[in-house]
Amino acid sequence: MINDFDLEDDLEYPEELYPVVELSDSILELTEKLETIRRKLDDFEQRYLEADEEERECEGYEIPSSTKLERWQAEIEEISDRIELLGDPL
C-alpha cells in the first residue's frame, strides 16, 4: 500500500502558533548564550584550581573584577525575578 499523505506538504503550519514558536526559539537562544557563559566560567574555575601560583600569574588566569561579576549576578537575579513575575506563558 502506498501512502500519498505527507504531513508537511498537506498541512499548513497554524499561523496562531507562530508566537509560541518565536518565544520558544528566543528562550532557546538565550539559554544557549547563558550556557556558553556558564561553561566559560566553569572552565576558568577548573583551570584556576588546577594551576599553581606561578601559573596563576599568567594573563589567562586573571580573575575578572568583582564589580563586573557583581553586575552580571545582579542582572541575572533581576531577569530571573521578572520571569517569575510573568508566570507561566501557557
Count, in order, helices (H) and strands (E) of the chain. 4, 0
**Which of 6-20, 43-57, 74-88 bottoms out in mean pLDDT, i.e. has the lowest?**
6-20
pTM of the model: 0.74
Cell reading at 53: 601560583
Cell reading at 62: 586573571
pLDDT value of position 4: 54
**Which residues lie below 8 Å from residue 63, measured CB to CB, with a gap of 6+?**
48
